[in-house]
Amino acid sequence: MTATPEDRAWRTYWWLEERLAPGVRYAQVDFEERLVSTVRAGDTWLDVGCGHTLLPEWRASQERELLERPEVVVGLDPELAALREHRGLSLRVCGDAAHLPFAERTFDLVTANMVVEHLAQPEDQFREIARVLKEGGRFLFHTPNAHGYPTMMARAVPDRVRGLAARMLETRPTDDRFSTYYRANTAASIGEVSRRTGFVVDGMLLVRSTAVFWRFAPLAALELLFLRALAQPGLASLRPNLIALLRKE
Per the DSSP assignment, residues forming a β-bridge with 248 are 199
Per the DSSP assignment, residues forming a β-bridge with 143 are 242
- The CATH number of domain 24-151+182-212+235-248, selected from 3.40.50.150, 3.30.200.20, 3.50.50.60, 3.10.20.600: 3.40.50.150
Does residue 166 contact residue 158 with C-beta atoms inside 8 Å? no
Q: How far apart are CA 145 and CA 235, in angstroms?
A: 13
pTM (predicted TM-score):
0.93
Q: At what angle do helices 5-20 and 217-229 cross, to 10 degrees?
A: 30
- Which helix (H) or strand (E) is 65 found in, with range? helix 60-67
Q: At what angle do helices 122-132 and 187-197 cross, to 10 degrees?
A: 50
Contacts 24+ apart (CB under 8 A), 101-106: 102/46, 102/74, 102/132, 103/132, 104/131, 104/132, 105/132, 105/133, 105/134, 105/135, 105/137, 106/44, 106/46, 106/132, 106/133, 106/134
Residue ranges of domains in the chain? 24-151+182-212+235-248
Per-residue pLDDT tens listing for the chain (249 residues)? 678 999 999 999 999 999 999 999 999 999 999 999 999 999 999 999 999 999 999 999 999 999 999 999 999 999 999 999 999 999 999 999 999 999 999 999 999 999 999 999 999 999 999 999 999 999 999 999 999 999 999 888 777 666 666 665 665 444 446 889 999 999 999 999 999 999 999 999 999 999 999 999 999 999 999 999 999 999 999 999 999 999 999
- If one counts every other C-beta atom within 10 angstroms of the C-beta of residue 189, the result is 15
**Computed from CA positions of residues 236, 238, 239, 242, in that sequence, does the dihedral angle turn out positive or negative?**
positive
Does residue 98 contact residue 124 with C-beta atoms inside 8 Å? yes
Q: How far apart are CA 48 and CA 39, in angstroms?
A: 15
Q: How far apart are CA 30 and CA 207, in angstroms?
A: 8
